[in-house]
Chain A
Amino acid sequence: MLEIIDVSRRFGDFVALDKVSLHIQAGEFFTLLGPSGCGKTTLLRLIAGFDHVDEGEILLDGKSLTALTPEQRPVHTVFQNYALFPHMTVAENIAFPLRMAKTAKPVIDLMVREILEDVRLPDKANHYPNELSGGQKQRIAIARALVNRPRLLLLDEPLSALDAKLREQMQIELINLQKEVGITFVYVTHDQGEALALSHRIAVMNKGEISQIDEPSVLYSCPDNRFVADFIGQCNLLDATVISVGGRHLRIAINGLGELDVCPNPEIDFAEGDSCALTLRPEKIRLAATLTKEDDEVLFSGKVHDMLYLGDVTVYIIELASGVLIEAMLANDAPGRTRLFDTDDAVQIAWRTDAGHLVP
């Protein structure tokens, strides 16, 4: 329903977007994810109409948006800082898009009351924005953007100003709200956890280009490249060279680890001698004082170099005999114990050949 076709945008010498193409389905919760300066907000502003494309085309339901001004587009935005009108009450704020659309007064009153019920703030109608908490402002901003049912809702890091606890609660509310109203959401964030939790699909962006578009679970477990592997979650990135192909496994050589078998990447055909990287999530690694090597596993000995206690889990940084550092994660689920190892404890790590994922 929303098609972005070869869109480029430059600011002077800086290329903010370089031939970006996307296709967003109706009813989808779609996220643009990337570090600051990757072009995600620029893309959002192009869709909203606050900025113009240098090249390319943006189509909504098959019709070009490029010639339309922001007020002509059936697209509404939830701004990072809420952008509630400070001189209007909550009800007047929400009524604003309806007034602009020349909706009849009784209908406006009814719709405002309904949406205030939906965001569970019916008693705040006559309050001014400065009398609301951050979470309440956020809900009013979303209510205002949704009240006259746009074809598309754009959300620009809407939760970044909230504290962690409230953010989690708002994430759940956003998911439910989107399901309820069935409007397509395009969400911009630099927070990978938020993107994974909320989205149907995510486009990971880097330096004005799209690195990968996939469902959250695919993005996490089968990244297409090193950038995506590194940006989403924690990841061991091990530089490797392909030794031999064919058969059930690929054989690769990793500096400091020697030769080992991995499952091939069904998407990419590697040839002998290709350089690649093994991406290995810390939670896929077994860690214990002593381990027995099972079939289809590789096993290494080392010692605890450092650790990060995160409460529910601890990330151990294991130094192998060769000096290579590998991150492994263990849940702190043993009752009565806070952690399993101390620095310099001798440990063994092991992972299955299908635990890692090979990227170019």
Chain B
Amino acid sequence: MVKNSAYPSKALISAGTLVYLFLYLPLVVVVLFSFNDSKLNAEWVGFTWKWYEKLFQNGEILHAAANSLIIATISALLATVLGTLAGLAIHRFRQKWLSALVLGPIAMPDILIGVSLLLMFILFNVTLGMTSIILAHVSFCIGFVALAVQSRLSGMDQSLVEAARDLGALPTQAFRLVTLPLLKPGIIAGGMMAFTLSIDDFVITFFTAGVGSSTLPLEIYSMVKIAVTPEVNAVSTLLMLVTLIIITALSRISPMVLRQ
């Protein structure tokens, strides 16, 4: 008898269940305990909003959250522009050293990037703060955007640009009317990746942040150093929610942009 491959076997279902439990159970626990009416993350006592209320009265956390959003937005925008240009250059000039230079930071350990950026900022007398964090985030996000753009470019039919030129478009018009719209999904995906990488970065931010420029991950870390309070659960749940909303929204937009 031929097995219908559209239905997974029992072994596959149980293995899959275990893997997904391992992946998502910790997140579920965090979300659940953020609504738990107890100071301890031990047993379920009852439902409450009070940790969220406390959270919104905590000036430090709100400040850090605002910092995180500002940093993620600005560095994602900058990295998207620079990364797109880098992706175009890699595709156009086809030089191995160029792609190695642009994509190198992706493979580099965060701790190394963090320490070397710190040393550089000190060397050039850059005051540690929002600017230094943004510069740091841009530097490690460019590679991801360039990668997304370049893979989109290499999948693109080269004759489309030739067709545009052939039909009377100047090089700049061909780029604006044909290349750029076709790259849009890659650019959006790259920018999205940059945003999520930036908003939850800890290691590099830790080295490049100054006094008063704490970000949400740094703030959570300093809270956890004392104890994992339900407040931490609440702020983590919110961070999860924001990321989820952004990713869902963008994945809804990109098929409309794509149209292929």
Chain A residues with a Cβ under 8 A of chain B: 48-50, 69-71, 75-77, 79-81, 83, 85-87, 96-97, 100-101, 128, 130, 144-145, 148
* Residue ID in chain B nearest A94 by CB atoms: B167
6 A-B pairs closest in CB distance: A100-B168, A83-B163, A97-B167, A70-B165, A83-B159, A86-B260
Identify 4 new A-B residue pairs, CB closer than 8 A, beyond the known A71-B168, A96-B169, A130-B259: A71-B166, A71-B167, A86-B259, A100-B167
> Which residues of A lie under 8 Å from residue B165 when comparing CB positions?
49-50, 69-71
A97 to B164, CA, bound (A): 8
* Residue ID in chain B nearest A148 by CB atoms: B168
- Determine whether the beta carbon of B159 is less than 8 Å from that of A97: no
Say yes or no: is B182 at the interface (Cβ < 8 Å to chain A): yes
> Which residues of A lie under 8 Å from residue B157 when comparing CB positions?
81, 83
- Determine whether the beta carbon of A101 is less than 8 Å from that of B166: no
Closest CB of chain A to B53's CB: distance in Å? 48
> Which residues of B lie under 8 Å from residue A86 when comparing CB positions?
160, 182, 259-260
Q: Which secondary structure characterizes the binding site on chain B?
A: helix
Chain B residues with a Cβ under 8 A of chain A: 157, 159-160, 162-170, 173, 177-178, 181-182, 259-260
- Determine whether the beta carbon of B167 is less than 8 Å from that of A87: no
- Determine whether the beta carbon of B178 is less than 8 Å from that of A48: no
> Which residues of A lie under 8 Å from residue B259 when comparing CB positions?
86-87, 128, 130
- Determine whether the beta carbon of A71 is less than 8 Å from that of B159: no
Closest CB of chain A to B84's CB: distance in Å? 17
* Interface residue from A85, A101, A145 paired with B160 (Cβ < 8 Å): A85
* Interface residue from A50, A71, A145 paired with B169 (Cβ < 8 Å): A71
A50 to B178, CA, bound (A): 17
* Residue ID in chain B nearest A92 by CB atoms: B177
> Which residues of B lie under 8 Å from residue A145 when comparing CB positions?
166-167
Closest CB of chain B to A124's CB: distance in Å? 15
- Determine whether the beta carbon of A96 is less than 8 Å from that of B159: no
- Determine whether the beta carbon of B162 is less than 8 Å from that of A50: yes
- Determine whether the beta carbon of B260 is less than 8 Å from that of A70: no
> Which residues of B lie under 8 Å from residue A96 when comparing CB positions?
164, 167, 169, 177
* Residue ID in chain A nearest B159 by CB atoms: A83
* Residue ID in chain A nearest B173 by CB atoms: A100
- Determine whether the beta carbon of B260 is less than 8 Å from that of A97: no
A86 to B164, CA, bound (A): 12
